[in-house]
Amino acid sequence: MNMVKCIDIKKHFPIRRGYLKGAAGFLKALDGVSIEIEKGKTLGLVGESGCGKTTLGKIILGIIKPDSGRVELETNKLQVIFQDPHNSLDPKMRVKDILSEGLILNKESKERIGGKIKDALDLVRLPQNALARYPHQFSGGERQRIAIARAVLTEPELVVCDEPVSSLDITIQLQILELLKDIQKRFSMTYLFISHDLRVVRHMAEDIAVMQHGRIVEKGPTRKVYSEPSHPYTKILLSSVLGIIK
């Protein structure tokens, strides 16, 4: 069963010549994209910077509207984890308030919220004394753990992970990827995992979609695409990244 189905999504952005001059043309950020994500699975979306990955993620999340095409979702419980937790966490809020924000909106009792936050910190392996601290008092990896805890607290069924480890050191990347995997298994969540890094995607995703200039040029089971890439662009991506470590 599919959790997400995108059908022929198009999104063009006007290219402006200058202030008040109108559009000089259109940038085809998404030029007819169709993907499916099976429930409980991870689809890895890879491609160079600027190829349209984040735009597709935002359209699935409903943050921006496509010009044409359709998104079919099996859930309305969506969450997102961004690349840079420094920008996505309010620097003026304590972790306790960052984590409880969404729950307070749900009008849950104080005790219940306290218990849930405690469990969420355990889940992402942060100490309870993190609650009284501010985001800048944590390392990049720890901040990403806070962002993950905040996302999980809302009990999402679909999570768009947009380059979630791209700003972290390689050893920290692995820890965060393992955490995301554990959490996915435990709560049967579905992931759209966006990354420009093919090694990261191989680690995370059962299926992969390769994007170039707003189009999906190849998709299929990760193992198959990595061992027998059929599109020239996939071959180039793989040889430039995986060639070194194979």
Rounded to a whole number of angstroms, the minimum distance from the CB of residue 64 to ligand ADP is 8
Longest dimension (CA), the chain: 57
**Residue 52 partner contact from Mg ion, ligand ADP, none using kind-dependent CB cut-offs of 5 to 8 Å:** ligand ADP
**Residue 51 partner contact from Mg ion, ligand ADP, none using kind-dependent CB cut-offs of 5 to 8 Å:** ligand ADP
Compare residues 215 and 231 and give the one whose CB is closer to ligand ADP.
Answer: 215
- The residue range among 36-44, 46-54, 109-117, 220-228 that interacts with ligand ADP, by the rule CB under 6 A, is 46-54
Q: Report H helices in the chain.
A: 53-61, 85-88, 95-105, 110-123, 140-153, 170-187, 198-204, 222-227, 232-241
Residues 26, 5, 44, 124: what is their CA dihedral angle, to the nearest 10 degrees? 110
Q: Is the Cβ–Cβ distance between 188 and 156 less than 8 Å?
A: no
Residues binding ligand ADP: what is the number (CB under 6 A)? 11
Euclidean distance between CA atoms 136 and 114, whole angstroms: 23
Is 54 near ligand ADP (CB under 6 A)? yes
x/- letters, 127..166, toward ligand ADP (CB under 6 A): ----------------------------------------
Compare residues 53 and 150 and give the one whose CB is closer to Mg ion.
Answer: 53
x/- letters, 3..22, toward ligand ADP (CB under 6 A): ----------x---------
**Residue 160 partner contact from ligand ADP, Mg ion, none using kind-dependent CB cut-offs of 5 to 8 Å:** none
Q: Which residues contact 225 (CB under 8 A, 6 or more apart)?
A: 208, 210, 218, 219, 234
Euclidean distance between CA atoms 181 and 10, whole angstroms: 31
Euclidean distance between CA atoms 140 and 72, whole angstroms: 34
Is 25 near ligand ADP (CB under 6 A)? no
**Residue 85 partner contact from Mg ion, ligand ADP, none using kind-dependent CB cut-offs of 5 to 8 Å:** none
219 bridge partner residues: 209
Compare residues 47 and 156 and give the one whose CB is closer to Mg ion.
Answer: 47
> Within positions 30 to 89, which residues make up the interface with Mg ion, using CB under 5 A?
53-54
Is 208 near ligand ADP (CB under 6 A)? no
Q: Three-state SS for 29?
A: strand
Choose which of 4, 9, 29, 200 interacts with ligand ADP (CB under 6 A).
29
* Nearest Cα to Cα of residue 53 among 233, 241, 214: 214
Report the residue closest to Mg ion, judged by CB: 54
What are the φ and ψ backbone dihedral angles of 217, each rounded to 5 degrees?
A: -95, -20
Q: Three-state SS for 55?
A: helix
> Which residues sit at the interface with Mg ion, rule CB under 5 A?
53-54
